[in-house]
């Protein structure tokens, strides 16, 4: 049985894409190890639930606030020092790698000592780890472009974060044996930068068995839904609240799910002129439960603000989650979302111009006043999952790629 190692500087629960690949590889007969480091408190408990049923071996390195605390706090101090050196002095001598992942040396040591036929990096901090592990063990490595990393947070070419990511991409990408990408636009952009790249697009879809259908009845309130790991400012939620302020319809609700602090809750409540009884905040739930939870709503909101190149061309798993739950979709007109809704999954929802709360209000009101349209879009969402956008199909594409390598 051949072994495969998947590497991430974050936890499995914050990376559904990694988990799906690990599951697919395990079910295909490979011995799979997932080497990762602690990232956030909320994922600690969801990881515990995830590990109860997984067929692969999770390996935590670099400590955490709950396990190997001394190691964890030491690596945080080292990480901070490395980032300052990388930012103000040099990327050379390994400081770029140390400054990208808190537990980079621990990930590298564990990965190197875990012999495998293939090492797969799932974020930029893991890329040097996969390349160096493959070299040591005379095997192969691959990289998954979940995002357009050099412009993941800013389009300023002089910004440290841009220069840092570009340095690592330039240094390590040409040493990989295969590449996958989370959207066609991400694949196109990387192909422009590196002619040797031909990423295979693997969409952020989910299994058909996770399709959930609710028995929605007519004349109920119209319920809008948005979710993410964090509920925060400048993520498009403002558009939805301003749109509902325009409508002032007591039968339209807005539901937000994710981690949130009191300051942010107050920020949104102060912005909302409509009845605050129709603004709901939901605590995070296990990722596997999101589909069933979502079925109580009518419309899924994908409100990306397009604040940087990556945010414009990435296709988030929000949209695919909404499809699996049979929700109609309202999305901002980023390049990726506009292309997907207008070309790939027609008649599942509508696009509105970013920041245009008046147009968004019009679309919401259209759904509220036209039950047949709402039901048609919801039906088409489920049909898209059944026929095109499901992990059963995408996983075969992924596994076929892996089998050509090992």
CATH number of the domain to which 267 belongs: 3.40.50.2000
- The answer on 278 and 361 residing in a single domain is yes
Domain that holds residue 171: 3-205+391-405
Looking at the fold, whether 201 and 234 belong to one and the same domain comes out as no
Cα separation, 367 vs 300, whole angstroms: 12
Same domain, 330 and 247: yes
Same domain, 190 and 53: yes
Co-location of 315 and 263 in the same domain: yes
Output the pLDDT for position 303: 97
- State whether 219 and 322 are in the same domain: yes
pLDDT value of residue 297:
97
Can you tell me the distance from the alpha carbon of 32 to that of 186, in angstroms, rounded to the nearest whole number? 27
The reply to whether 236 and 304 lie within a common domain is yes
pLDDT at 278: 95
Residues 157 and 28 reside in one and the same domain: yes
Q: Are residues 316 and 189 in the same domain?
A: no
User: pTM surpassing 0.85?
Assistant: yes
Tell me what pLDDT residue 284 has: 87
Q: What is the mean pLDDT of each run of 10 residues along the chain (406 residues)?
A: 97 95 98 97 91 96 97 98 98 98 98 98 97 98 98 97 98 98 97 96 94 67 95 96 97 96 96 92 89 96 97 94 97 97 94 98 98 96 96 97 96
Does residue 122 sit in the same domain as residue 68?
yes
Based on the structure, what is the number of domains in the chain? 2
d(CA 375, CA 381): 10
Same domain, 12 and 79: yes
Looking at the fold, whether 228 and 200 belong to one and the same domain comes out as no
């Amino acid at each position: 049985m051949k072994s495969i190692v998947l590497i991430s500087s974050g936890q499995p629960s914050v990376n559904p894409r990694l988990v799906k690949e690990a599951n697919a590889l395990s079910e295909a007969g490979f011995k799979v190890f997932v080497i990762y480091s602690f990232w956030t408190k909320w994922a600690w408990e969801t990881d515990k639930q995830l590990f109860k049923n997984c067929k692969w071996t999770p390996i935590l390195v670099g400590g955490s606030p709950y396990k190997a605390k001394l190691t964890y706090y030491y690596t945080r101090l080292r990480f901070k020092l490395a980032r300052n050196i990388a930012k103000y002095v040099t990327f050379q001598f390994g400081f770029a790698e140390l400054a990208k992942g808190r537990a980079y040396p621990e990930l590298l040591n564990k990965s190197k000592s875990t012999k495998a036929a293939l090492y797969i990096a799932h974020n930029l901090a893991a890329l040097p780890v996969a390349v160096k592990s493959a070299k040591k063990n005379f095997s192969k490595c691959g990289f998954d472009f979940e995002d357009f990393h050099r412009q993941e947070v800013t389009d300023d070419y002089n910004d440290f974060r841009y220069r840092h990511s570009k340095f690592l991409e330039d240094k390590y990408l040409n040493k990989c044996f295969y590449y996958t990408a989370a959207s066609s636009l991400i694949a196109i952009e990387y192909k422009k930068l590196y002619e040797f790249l031909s990423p295979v697009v693997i969409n952020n879809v989910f299994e058909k068995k996770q399709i959930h259908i609710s028995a929605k009845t007519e004349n109920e309130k119209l319920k809008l839904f948005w979710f993410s790991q964090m509920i925060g400012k400048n993520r498009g939620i403002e558009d939805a609240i301003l749109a509902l302020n325009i409508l002032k319809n007591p039968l339209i609700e807005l539901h937000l799910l994710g981690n949130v602090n009191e300051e942010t809750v107050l920020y949104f409540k102060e912005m909302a002129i409509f009845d605050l009884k129709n603004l709901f905040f939901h605590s995070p739930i296990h990722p596997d439960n999101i589909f069933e939870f979502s079925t109580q709503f009518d419309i899924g909101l994908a409100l990306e603000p397009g604040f940087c190149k990556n945010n414009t061309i990435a296709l988030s798993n929000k949209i695919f989650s909404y499809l699996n739950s049979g929700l109609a979709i309202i999305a901002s007109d980023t390049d990726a979302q506009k292309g997907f809704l207008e070309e790939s999954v027609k008649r599942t929802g509508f696009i509105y111009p970013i920041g245009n709360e008046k147009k968004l209000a019009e679309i919401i009101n259209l759904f509220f006043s036209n039950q047949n349209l709402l039901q048609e879009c919801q039906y088409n969402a489920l049909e898209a999952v059944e026929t095109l956008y499901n992990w059963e199909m995408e996983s075969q594409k992924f596994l076929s790629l892996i089998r050509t390598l090992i």
